C-alpha cells in the first residue's frame, strides 16, 4: 500500500520546477519539516525568473540576476531535485511516477508543467538555425548570440512576446521589423487609441511595423533563413528571426 498510513513521512512528488512547482516545494517543507519532497524539471536549470528574460535579452541585467534558486537552496531545504529529467508516466493506482527507468512513490502529486511555445507551422521553419521561439533561458542565450552576428531582425506575431522581441532588437541597434497579421500590436489587449500610441513609440525607436501580414514561408539557404515571405507577397530579409504565437499547455502527462 503506497500511502502515508505505512509511514510517518509523507511523500510528495512535484513535476515541474518552475515558479509554481518550486514554491509548492518550499511551502511543503515549511509546513511539514519531516516530509519527503522530490522535484522534477526537464531543463538543466534550477528556478529562474522568466519575466527577467526580456531585460536580459536587452542586456539591461546579467544572467545571474535571472536565477532565483540554486542547487544549494534545494539541498538546504532537503528537496531532491532531478534536472534534465522527463517524467514519462504517472500510475495513479500504484501512486508512482516513472522517470528515467525508475519509479518514485508518492502520497500526493502535483503536476505543474506549464506550457511550451506554439510552433510557426510554416514551410522552412523546422530546424532553421536562426529562427527562435522566446520562452526559456536557452532561447534567450541563443537569440542574444544571433543578434551579435546580425544586422537586421524580424519579430513575428502580435503578442506581448513579439513586442518584447521587437523592443530587444531595437534596443540593441538592429534594423528591426515587427510583422503581425492583426491591425495593430497587442490588438487582443489594447484598443485602437493605445495601439496608435504603441505604433508611434515603435516608429520613434526605428521599428518597421508591418500590419495585416501573415507568414507564408521562410526562405532558407544552407539551413539558415534568409528572408520571410508573407501571404501578401512581401519579403523581408534579415539574419535573426523570432516569434511569439502563444503557448500550448503541457498536458501529455
Q: Which tens digit of pLDDT belongs to each residue from 43-91?
A: 999 999 999 999 999 999 999 999 999 999 999 999 999 999 999 999 9
Q: Which tens digit of pLDDT belongs to each residue from 205-227?
A: 999 999 999 999 999 999 999 99
Q: Which CATH number is 117-247 given?
A: 3.50.50.60
* Residues forming beta bridges with residue 110, ordered by sequence position: 14
**Is it true that 4-113 and 117-247 share their CATH fold?**
yes
* Domain-wise residue ranges, the chain: 4-113, 117-247
The stretch 112-119 carries a mean pLDDT of 96
The stretch 84-112 carries a mean pLDDT of 97
Q: Which tens digit of pLDDT belongs to each residue from 3-23?
A: 444 568 999 999 999 999 999
Instruction: Give yes or no for a contact between 10 and 36, defined as CB atoms under 8 angstroms apart.
Output: yes
Collapse the DSSP code of 113 into the 3-class scheme (helix H, G, I; strand E, B; otherwise coil) and give the result.
coil
d(CA 235, CA 158): 18
Q: What is the pTM of this model?
A: 0.92
Collapse the DSSP code of 94 into the 3-class scheme (helix H, G, I; strand E, B; otherwise coil) and give the result.
coil
Of residues 5 and 241, which shows the higher confidence score? 241
Confidence at residue 253, expressed as pLDDT on a 0 to 100 scale: 92
Confidence at residue 5, expressed as pLDDT on a 0 to 100 scale: 45
3-class SS string, 59-82:
CCCCHHHCECCCHHHHHHCCEEEE
| Number of residues that make up the chain | 253
Confidence at residue 2, expressed as pLDDT on a 0 to 100 scale: 46
Pairing assessment for the beta strands 247-249 and 115-117 based on DSSP bridges = antiparallel
Q: Which CATH number is 4-113 given?
A: 3.50.50.60
Confidence at residue 8, expressed as pLDDT on a 0 to 100 scale: 85
Of the chain, the end-to-end C-alpha distance in Å amounts to 23
**Residue 101 pLDDT exceeds 90:** yes
Residue reference for cell 511539514: 32
Amino acid at each position: 500500500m503506497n500511502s502515508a498510513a505505512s509511514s510517518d513521512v509523507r511523500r510528495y512528488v512535484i513535476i515541474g520546477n518552475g515558479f509554481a512547482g518550486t514554491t509548492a516545494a518550499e511551502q511543503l517543507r515549511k509546513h511539514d519539516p519531516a516530509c519527503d519532497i522530490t522535484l522534477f524539471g526537464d531543463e538543466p536549470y534550477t528556478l529562474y525568473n522568466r519575466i527577467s528574460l526580456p531585460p536580459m535579452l536587452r542586456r539591461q541585467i546579467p544572467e545571474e540576476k535571472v536565477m532565483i534558486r540554486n542547487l544549494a537552496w534545494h539541498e538546504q531545504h532537503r528537496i531532491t531535485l532531478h534536472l534534465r529529467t522527463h517524467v514519462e508516466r504517472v500510475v495513479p493506482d500504484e501512486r508512482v511516477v516513472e522517470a528515467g527507468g525508475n519509479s518514485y512513490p508518492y502520497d500526493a502529486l502535483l503536476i505543474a508543467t506549464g506550457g511550451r511555445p506554439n510552433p510557426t507551422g510554416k514551410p522552412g521553419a523546422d530546424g532553421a538555425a536562426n529562427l527562435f521561439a522566446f520562452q526559456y533561458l536557452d532561447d534567450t542565450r541563443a537569440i542574444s548570440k544571433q543578434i551579435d552576428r546580425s544586422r537586421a531582425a524580424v519579430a513575428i506575431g502580435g503578442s506581448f512576446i513579439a513586442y518584447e522581441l521587437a523592443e530587444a532588437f531595437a534596443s540593441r541597434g538592429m534594423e528591426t521589423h515587427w510583422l503581425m497579421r492583426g491591425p495593430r500590436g497587442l490588438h487582443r489587449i489594447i484598443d485602437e487609441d493605445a495601439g496608435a500610441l504603441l505604433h508611434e513609440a515603435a516608429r520613434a525607436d526605428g521599428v518597421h511595423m508591418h500590419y495585416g501580414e501573415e507568414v507564408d514561408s521562410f526562405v532558407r539557404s544552407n539551413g539558415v533563413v534568409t528572408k520571410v515571405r508573407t501571404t501578401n507577397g512581401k519579403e523581408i530579409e534579415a539574419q535573426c528571426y523570432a516569434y511569439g504565437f502563444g503557448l500550448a499547455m503541457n498536458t501529455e502527462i
